[in-house]
Structure 1
Amino acid sequence: MDITEDMVIRAREYEDLLQMFGQGSIPDPDDEREVTFRVFSLDQATIIAELYAAIPHAFELRHVDFNLPGPGGGEPGRPAVHGRTPTNKERAKAKYWRDKMTAEGVGDVRDLPRAGKLTDEEVAMINESYQRAIAAE
């Protein structure tokens, strides 16, 4: 039997929740007290509601937004520089030139010796990535 990611999540997350909630008043159909379960995700709430759907209790799933900051950082993946994602070779070349720019204290790669060998696209890419790097510091 192949173990899937869903099986692991169910075993590690949902089963613990179900066991914990099962220790309360839910197993007793005559208990009319209101019970509130607070979970971290809609998936968790749905699993619990589905499991206990056969019992005579009524369930209300309600989402409460706490306006917490989520994962940030913009779009996933490497950032686009000069309109596209640089290759590993281009990134290595840009880092080489950014390090030189930092050492020499210049803000434009064209102010460095031997920068005349760079194409216009490389100059734009290096300068943009340099500005992004110093802004992140």
Structure 2
Amino acid sequence: MMRLLLLVLLVALGTVTVQGADERRYTTRYDNIDLERILSSRRLVTNYVECLLGRKRCPPEAVELKRVLPDALATQCAKCSPQQREMAIKVIRRLQSEYPDLWRILLQQFDPSGEKVKRFEQAVKRRIDAKRAK
């Protein structure tokens, strides 16, 4: 749903391994990934979607995303860094507007009702807005 689902999250979440038991955050190892390059290429987006669906081999960042995506959606990205939240929203919005066919396929796999993504978007947007207001 996002590098969201998000590749969708591919990103935002495309970054995730829990670091240290105390911190309970996703890894920031992939936070510098070139999202624009990926989202500007239908071929790359399709490859990530196929990976998330288990139909194709995944690059390292997508393996991590695939592993944490269910948790990130269920917890509204509670373990995401601020940058990962912004990346997740960007990926979701771009998938919805530029790749609606692939977005629908991801939703069918990860959130058939659409409720998790809706709650995810609302929660992440609130966190981003609160951070910007400071």
TM range (shorter): under 0.3
Larger relative contact order (Cα-Cα within 8 Å, sequence gap ≥ 6): 2
The structure where helix makes up a greater share of residues is 2
TM-score in terms of structure 2 length: 0.24
Structure number, greater radius of gyration: 1
TM-score in terms of structure 1 length: 0.24
